[in-house]
A and B are shown apart, each in its own frame.
Chain A
Amino acid sequence: SQKIEQNSEALNIQEGKTATLTCNYTNYSPAYLQWYRQDPGRGPVFLLLIRENEKEKRKERLKVTFDTTLKQSLFHITASQPADSATYLCAPDSGGYQKVTFGTGTKLQVIP
């Protein structure tokens, strides 16, 4: 069956450092991979999408990589700030009218 793995333990990093979150998936080949941010008590918010033929995608301080051979995506936040503290969800997307599947998320805490 399809499986998505994200670091289940919280990630604590110092302000100004780069945070790296990992998403591994098995038993399917998504055409896209999405990343969402979720704050406590709120619904997830879309951040970035990367296509299977893209190795890397950037948006401001965010960078996502997608390795279809390793079946892994890495999500980086550079120069992290306390406001970046949230849970980050990865979501492999098969495209078309297929449903998107979400990982359980990694909680990031940026310490001032």
Chain B
Amino acid sequence: NAGVTQTPKFQVLKTGQSMTLQCAQDMNHNSMYWYRQDPGMGLRLIYYSASEGTTDKGEVPNGYNVSRLNKREFSLRLESAAPSQTSVYFCASSDQGQGGYNEQFFGPGTRLTVL
């Protein structure tokens, strides 16, 4: 049981390049999330998918797109990377617990640097 996996672990891009961050979970969770974490800013939600086939914007969606490929996989795409997108990106998944809470399970993160 791998939990939440993310690839790649590290990436360096030049301004204007594109890339896709991959995320997969094997816990049969309905909901998946993409966050970015910057010093002093905490975790900020980029996009989330409450269930397969749906995606919604979070707090900081500009410059990103997502695809919920199936129940297991949720990818994040940077079409034209900018230095402001240098960050650590975390994918997470959750399912409603008994009573409706959303304990989240996080992947190990992708450390992205945009030059």
Residue ranges of A at the interface with B (Cβ–Cβ < 8 Å): 8, 31-32, 34, 36, 41-46, 49, 51, 89, 91, 93, 95-105
Residues of B with Cβ closer than 8 Å to A?
A: 4, 31, 33, 35, 40-43, 45, 48, 50-51, 58, 90, 92, 94, 96-97, 99-109
> Can you list 24 residue pairs at the A/B interface with Cβ under 8 Å?
A32-B101, A42-B108, A43-B4, A44-B43, A44-B106, A45-B106, A46-B103, A49-B97, A89-B42, A89-B43, A93-B102, A95-B96, A95-B102, A96-B96, A96-B100, A97-B31, A97-B51, A99-B45, A99-B102, A100-B94, A100-B102, A101-B45, A104-B41, A105-B42
Cβ-neighbour of A31 out of B43, B45, B94, B100 (below 8 A)? B100
Residues of A with C-beta under 8 A to B104 = 34, 36, 44, 46, 91, 100
Residues of A within 8 A of B100 (CB): 31, 95-96
Considering residues B31, B42, B45, B106, which has the most beta carbons from chain A within 10 angstroms of its beta carbon?
B42
Beyond A31-B101, A46-B105, whether A99 also contacts B48 by CB under 8 A is yes
- Which of A34, A89, A101, A102 lies in contact with B103, CB distance below 8 A? A34
CB pair A34 B45 closer than 8 Å: no
Q: Least Cβ distance of A2 to chain B in Å?
A: 10
Check B101–A43 contact: CB distance below 8 A: no
A6 closest partner in B (C-beta): B42
B33, B94, B97, B101: most-surrounded residue (chain A CB, <10 A): B101
User: B39 → chain A, closest Cβ, in Å?
Assistant: 9
Residues of A within 8 A of B58 (CB): 99
Q: Which residue of B lies closest to A51 (CB)?
A: B99
Given contacts A43-B4, A46-B103, 12 further A-B contacts (CB under 8 A): A31-B100, A41-B109, A43-B90, A44-B43, A46-B104, A49-B103, A89-B43, A95-B96, A97-B51, A97-B96, A99-B48, A102-B43
